[in-house]
Amino acid sequence: MFQDRMGLLSDPNRRRALTNLLTRLNTPICVLCYLAGVAWFMGLAFEPFTLRTYMSENAMGSTMVEERFPAGERALVTAREFGAHKRKSGAMPVDWLVKTMQSRGLEVYTQSFSRRLPFPDENKERYMVRGTNVYGILRAPRAPRTEALVLSAPCSPDNSNNQAVGLLLGLAQYFRSQIYWAKDIIFLVNEHDLIGMQAWLEAYHHTNITGMDWAPLHGRGGSIQAALSLELSSDVVTSLDLVLEGLNGQLPNLDLANLFYTFCQKQDILCTIQEKLQRSDWDSVSGYSQAVQTMALMVLKQASGRPWGDHGLFLRYHIESATIRGINSFRQYKTDTTTVGRLLEGMFRKLNNLLERLHQSYFFYLLPSLSRFVSIGYYMPAFGFLAVILLLRALDLWVQLGALPSVTEDGVGVTDQSSSPSLVSILTPVVISHLTGAALYTLPVLSQELAVQHFPVSETEAVVLTAIAIYTAGLALPHNTHRFMLAEGTEQGWRVLKLVAVLYLAVLLSCTALINFSLGFILALTLVPVAAFVTPHVPKVLSAVVMVLLAPGCTLLYCVFAFQELQEAPVSLIDGWMLFLSVISQGMLDHALYGSLVYPLLALFIYPCWLILWNILFWK
Amino acid sequence: MAAPLTLLVIVAVTIRAVLFRSSLAELISERVEVVSPLNSWKRVVEGLALLDLGVSPYSGDVFHETPLTIYLYHFVIDYAEIVCMIADGITAVALYLAVQVYNKNVFRKQKYALEADRYPHDCLELMQTPKELFYVPLKVAMFYLLSPFTILSCVAKSTCGINNAIVALFVLCTIKGSALLSAIFLALATYQSIYPITLFAPALIYLLQRLYIPVNLRRQSFWLFTLQYAFMFVGSLVVIVGLSFFLLGSWDYIPSVYGFILSVPDLTPNIGLFWYFFAEMFEHFRLFFICVFQINVFFYTIPLSIKLKDHPVFLMFMQIAIISIFKSYPTVGDIALYMAFLPVWSHLYRFLRNIFMVSCVLLACSALFPVLWHLWIYAGSANSNFYYAITLLFNVGQVLLVSDYFYAYLRREHHLSHGLYLKKKDGSEATLVLK
């Protein structure tokens, strides 16, 4: 085998045969690879191809715990009291919370924070955000308090998460009376959902990544091992939904999902992921389609790079965390708060048993259902097939470049390369594209005031519309790029440029796919065909239309529609467009507030790369 | 040619100055790919602080620079950025001048050979034209100054830049034919990081060739000159080592610098091959494998010197490359030094076989290093195996690159003596196969 490989590298005849094969059959192989990539991805959701989830962590698997939480009703009373105080004060009732937590026997602290958004957030109607986090620490009676667990419940002015706060306080009271805790348990009520969470986490870890103002914490537990965020807004629930997708597509260790699933089964609670119930008939079309939809939703959510629950920010600090969201639909079968409390009790007791951070199970996975998973080894080939296309095209271009001045593969018989393209003609489009990307990244937020003065739009609209305007203006670039170029573009020139672009795209997508598979895969699905087919010699108008339709901006639009479709909330074209605009503004806000990387990635790298390909289409 | 070189230096300095002022500088100086325990600026500062307190900088296990470096920085600590930039500038100019002289020699030799009709007739297209040769020195300087690896290394204020400058000066002095200066700089380079001692062989062969002394073990003149050069080298090494002793008043630095290089106690991940291997190994095999790994660096000198005894400058390039691939704490700055030589061999381009694949691998790996580091250290989702896999691939890529150039060089020489279009005995076209 090894000798064979070495032979392939050193034996010119065999190399020539291989290269000939790859260049002659390049297009069919590329098409085949693309289809294989898509087919592989679709196959991932098919149950026989997936693995059953299993608990890998020894400390959580073998021990038995008995749940005895009794006080569901009392928690609901507390929740109503909390709701009343919240209505009365119009914001989070900090004093009441402090008093209640203190009466439950916790060490209570508050933390105030403030944050000015780069531009108003119209979805949540906030611009200047001021708030206070309240948290109580239950000190571990049985261990040296070097580790901690967090249970959090968000409290925003708009949503009514009262039941979650009530249950949190009820659990605090109950946990206080137990003696088996070996880790501090921190009960956190954070205001303004993610912004408050961000402030608390930054203060807890003494970092300041996003330039936010927050007061330092006065009380601290040990290093946080795991965290659960609770969202309940009704007295009874029909099912519990597990949310895993965190910032930049990071996922918690799969064992946390396994833990949730095990206890849901034990407590006989209906549990879902992506709000889709698992079906038992995997071999039927509808069963398979359900699995595909669940997985596709996960891919879309992960690709968005935003935290889909308050847990999403913990992951950045290497803390395994998930959000548990109560759903109340029209189903007959209801679960009361006591049972939900017992579920959380069970999960916390198991987490309490941990000897080290969760690390045994997978960090890279996709879930077609809660009981089945696809690990990195199974899903990476889907991306691999798409990435291979780029490499094959690059190889083809390389051979063509070598062939033009009549080189045989063995290096014999070269004529002097007099027509090699000048460096300037290659660098100009690359530099100009990247400058456009930099403009797309910086200008929208910087120029909002100017735009508001001159056009009848709000700040948010101004930002989004400026971004779209710059994006569209980029399409006119090839025309202007040519003015800067002194020499005529040559046949060689576009080939070199395309080689650069294709390799650049390949490296870019591989890096993206490693960090966030879903984002890399979605971008590869639309960008790889563009990169593969574009040359100056294809029909201009048709190709231009196709290229625009496969551009990153349009990909985002499709994703918005697909997401709504999969969530069974289809939207009309106009609503979809409005949603698209709000997604753009949310993306920018996520970047500014939490440090999500999707917007800079798209603006600074992916879009310029696409522009280079666009330049090739209009090469003169 | 001085004008383009000046322009180039100005551009390079501007880029560095901008990066020094940006927020990236701090990030870059933390990267394990750019700084190693041997040359990290943080450690230099620590050593200086200890020195100022009157404590030996080598007490503790932080500082691993040589005494001369620390005294150099003692005087220029406030201008560290400028020193780093000057070091890069010196390297580039030295390489520029060295390659210029080397190319002049190559061209002269080629002309004589052509006049003497020594080449087969179909080899005319293998000749290097003055037009090609004219831009090579500038390209070398450009490859060094504008290479992202050098820029990163300089912005991190890694002392690797100074070591590179010493090696470059050594190359310049050798090619200019000054045996004494060559020996002094070789001694300095060896003193800085041991490994450059393998450059003794190419330098000796080059100087012998220059004096028209054949490499023949039976000739007295050969031994005379070898002893002379070795004496100059050892003499300057002894002077430098002694000077270091008198500066610090103790021999502390020997175990702390050379012991540290040779026994590899610090297993912080880097782009080399040592860390993972020795982190995984059972303690009682350690000594044996350290010997194997270290001998590996020095071993290639013998076969390469025999094979390339007529081409000392290429041998020098091979040695520098091998050192930077196999040394115990490699950084990207080391790689930049040997990559700067690649334009000198641009006439071998037609014989390179894997250049496309290798450059793709090197490119992809350079981008993947920070990504996998992020996944391992920050996200906690990947582990050290991911990072090492990339390290391994990167080094395989480098080895393939160097061996490809080696093969291409030998192949061209073969064609120059046997004709370009080789025929088999039966008259059919033959191809050369490396086995």
User: Which residues of chain A neighbour B350 with C-beta distances below 8 Å?
Assistant: 407, 411, 414
How far apart are the CA of B13 and the nearest CA of chain A, in angstroms? Answer: 20
> Does residue B213 carry a pLDDT above 70?
yes
Mark yes or no for CB contact B431/A12 under 8 Å: yes
Average pLDDT score over residue span A548-566: 92
Mark yes or no for CB contact B371/A514 under 8 Å: yes
SS3 B308: coil
The mean-pLDDT minimum among A46-55, A480-489, B28-37 falls in: A480-489
> Which residue among A15, A503, A515 places its CB closest to the CB of B371?
A515
CA A99, CA A76: separation in Å to the nearest integer?
18
> Which residue among B125, B360, B400 places its CB closest to the CB of A503?
B360
Q: Judge whether B374 is closer than 8 Å to chain A, CB to CB.
A: yes
Query: Residue A404: which pLDDT band, with cuts at 50, 70 and 90?
Result: low
CA A549, CA A540: separation in Å to the nearest integer?
14
Give one DSSP letter per residue of A130-164, joined into a string. Answer: EEEEEEEEE--SSS-S-EEEEEEEEE-SSS--HHH
SS3 A38: helix
> Which residue among B356, B375, B421 places its CB closest to the CB of A412?
B421
Mark yes or no for CB contact B363/A507 under 8 Å: yes
Q: Minimal CA–CA distance to A149: which of A273, A60, A239, A271?
A: A60
Mark yes or no for CB contact A318/B420 under 8 Å: no
Report CA-CA distances (Å) from A16 to A31, A407, B349, B431.
23, 12, 17, 12
Q: How many residues does chain B have?
A: 435
User: Which residues of chain A neighbour B354 with C-beta distances below 8 Å?
Assistant: 9
Angle at B291 between CA B285 and CA B296, to 5 degrees: 125
Give the residue numbers in A contacting B (CB under 8 Å), as ranges: 9-13, 15, 250-251, 315-316, 318, 357, 359, 363-364, 391, 394-395, 398, 407, 410-412, 414, 503, 506-507, 510-511, 514-515
The mean-pLDDT minimum among A63-67, A147-151, A471-475, B356-360 falls in: A63-67
H/E stretch holding A108: strand A107-121
**Averaged confidence pLDDT in chain B:** 89
How far apart are the CA of A477 and the nearest CA of chain B, in angstroms? Answer: 27
CA A444, CA A455: separation in Å to the nearest integer?
14
Handedness of CA B180, B186, B190, B193 (dihedral sign): positive
Q: What is the pLDDT of residues B311-327, one digit of tens each?
A: 999 999 999 999 999 99
Interface test with A, best of B138, B412, B431 (most A CBs within 10 A): B431
Q: ipTM value of the model?
A: 0.86
Mark yes or no for CB contact A507/B367 under 8 Å: yes
Q: What is the pLDDT of residues A216-251, one digit of tens each?
A: 999 888 899 999 999 988 888 999 999 999 999 999
How far apart are the CA of B205 and the nearest CA of chain A, in angstroms? Answer: 30
pLDDT of the residue at A21:
85
Q: Which residue of A has its CA nearest to B348?
A: A411
CA A484, CA A465: separation in Å to the nearest integer?
28
Show Cβ contacts of residue B199 under 8 Å, excluding neighbours closer than 6 positions.
B167, B170, B186, B189, B316, B319, B320
Q: What is the pLDDT of residues B108-130, one digit of tens each?
A: 988 898 888 888 777 777 888 88
Mark yes or no for CB contact A510/B380 under 8 Å: no
Mark yes or no for CB contact B380/A359 under 8 Å: yes
Q: Judge whether B227 is closer than 8 Å to chain A, CB to CB.
A: no
User: Which residues of chain A neighbour B125 with C-beta distances below 8 Å?
Assistant: 414
Residue written as tokens 């009682």? B284
Interface test with B, best of A2, A3, A5, A10 (most B CBs within 10 A): A10
pLDDT of the residue at A479:
67
CA B388, CA B391: separation in Å to the nearest integer?
5
SS3 B258: helix
Range ranked top by mean pLDDT from A200-209, A540-549, B182-191: B182-191
How far apart are the CA of A428 and the nearest CA of chain B, in angstroms? Answer: 18
Letter string b/e over residues A571-591, b meaning 16 or more CB atoms within 10 A of that residue's CB: beeeebeebbbbbbbbbbbbb
Mark yes or no for CB contact A506/B375 under 8 Å: no
| Tokens standing for residue B237 | 């090494």
How far apart are the CA of A268 and the nearest CA of chain B, in angstroms? Answer: 31
Mark yes or no for CB contact A13/B379 under 8 Å: no
- Contact call for residues B215 and B310 (beta carbons, < 8 A): no
The mean-pLDDT minimum among A30-44, A114-128, A246-260, B23-37 falls in: A114-128
CA A148, CA A156: separation in Å to the nearest integer?
25
Angle at A463 between CA A457 and CA A464, to 5 degrees: 95
CA B92, CA B4: separation in Å to the nearest integer?
13
User: Which residues of chain A neighbour B378 with C-beta distances below 8 Å?
Assistant: 316, 318
SS3 A243: strand
**Burial degree of A332 (CB within 10 A; 0-12, 13-18, 19+):** exposed
> Does residue A3 carry a pLDDT above 70?
no
SS3 A188: strand
Query: Pick the residue with more confidence: B237 or A25?
Result: B237
pTM above 0.80, yes or no: yes
Q: Judge whether B434 is closer than 8 Å to chain A, CB to CB.
A: yes
> Which residue among B374, B379, B420 places its CB closest to the CB of A412?
B420
> Does residue A4 carry a pLDDT above 50?
no
User: Which residues of chain B neighbour A411 with C-beta distances below 8 Å?
Assistant: 350-353, 411
Q: What is the pLDDT of residues B244-283, one digit of tens each?
A: 999 888 888 899 999 999 999 989 999 988 999 999 888 8
> Does residue A1 carry a pLDDT above 70?
no
